[in-house]
Chain A
């Protein structure tokens, strides 16, 4: 996922996963049995991004959320966001659209 697509696309979490915090673990559970991975444990960073993805959001806002929440530098935050979005896409947990709609 390159920086151009990061800036021009909006993202939203898909409808095929259930998120719940149990025993301090941020769990993401895939609906339907054919998912390649039925259960994920999100890091605290990823959990912030998952919450932010409740609505259509550009990657820049996700980067901003990480910078604000964890006081990381923007370059590191942008790389983390790109990694996380790629992981979500690989398990079918992410929707995207061209920005500005």
Chain B
């Protein structure tokens, strides 16, 4: 999320906003009268309904984002995490200088989100933007035992196929091939997976890759594949002991909290029990999709 001047193509400024990705609902509320929320086109399908019970209520304002005096618990390239004495967490997002500060309570049900006051008022806040919304979604998904993965996902009439891969593995390429073969892309870069009594479900996210495809919908997973670019199309099952490591290294969720990590590992275990991971060697041609679907039908 950022604070900036209005973008053309964005909707009207709102006094509050509800963003939903997978089964996580973030409610944005203004702490100050001149704060307004504006929704980017890519985020719009993920907005509302306003009546959805929020998992986290974010009170938003503009002001100083100076970090607290407490020591940094963990640093990443674009943020610093501090644990406050009352158990709350403070995340400061920065580029060359801090530009936003997020303080959350212990269970992440409430937060105060402050943006740097260097820009002109009235201030516009864009809900759902990377990286803050994705970070919050990751933490809340982790608390529930879901997975946020470097993966594209496409649906056909029979369910969703999820393609795991690091950057350059071909996630967007395969999503495009599936699309030209009649599939619908849930995400071309980042997919959320939940595993419940009814099986594993893939959810689209607004945080897209080079194909720029997103969807606010979900579908039961019928295939889970690790992408390997090749000169042939071939599907082969990956042993569970290897599969869990391949999935683990493609998780986007930060490993900041013991309970969340344990929940996430449990979700990986349930996912693999429901849907075995396959290695999909593919040729970047339409035949790959036919091989994929035929292979899974046979499996």
Residues on A lying within 8 angstroms of B by beta carbon are 15, 18, 20, 22-25, 27, 29-34, 38-39, 41
Determine which residue in B240, B265, B266, B269 has the highest number of CB atoms from chain A within 10 A of its CB, and name it.
B265
Q: Which listed residue, B75, B254, B257, B268, touches A22 by the CB 8 Å rule? A: B268
Chain B contact residue count (CB 8 A cutoff): 23
User: Does B297 touch A at the CB level, under 8 Å?
Assistant: no
**A33: chain B residues within 8 A (beta carbon):** 74, 76, 254-255
B241 with A31: CB separation less than 8 A: no
Top 3 nearest A-B pairs (CB, nearest first) are A23-B240, A22-B269, A18-B261
A38 with B265: CB separation less than 8 A: no
A32 with B241: CB separation less than 8 A: no
Task: State the CA gap A38–B254 with chains docked (Å).
Answer: 11
B261 with A22: CB separation less than 8 A: no
B245 with A38: CB separation less than 8 A: no
Interface string of B59-75 (1 = CB under 8 A from A): 00000000000000111
**A30: chain B residues within 8 A (beta carbon):** 255
Task: State the CA gap A18–B268 with chains docked (Å).
Answer: 14
Q: Which listed residue, A15, A25, A31, A34, touches B244 by the CB 8 Å rule? A: A25
Task: State the CA gap A18–B254 with chains docked (Å).
Answer: 14
Shortest C-beta distance, A6 to chain B (Å), equals 29
A-B contact pairs, 25 of them (CB 8 A): A18-B262, A20-B265, A20-B269, A22-B240, A22-B268, A22-B269, A22-B272, A23-B240, A23-B241, A23-B244, A23-B269, A24-B240, A25-B244, A27-B265, A29-B255, A29-B261, A30-B255, A31-B257, A31-B261, A32-B73, A33-B255, A34-B75, A38-B249, A39-B249, A41-B241
Residue of A nearest to B77 (CB): A33
A31 with B258: CB separation less than 8 A: yes
B258 with A25: CB separation less than 8 A: no
Task: State the CA gap A16–B66 with chains docked (Å).
Answer: 28
Task: State the CA gap A19–B258 with chains docked (Å).
Answer: 10
Residues A31 and B255 in contact in the complex (CB < 8 Å), given A24-B241, A39-B245: yes
**B249: chain A residues within 8 A (beta carbon):** 38-39
B258 with A32: CB separation less than 8 A: no
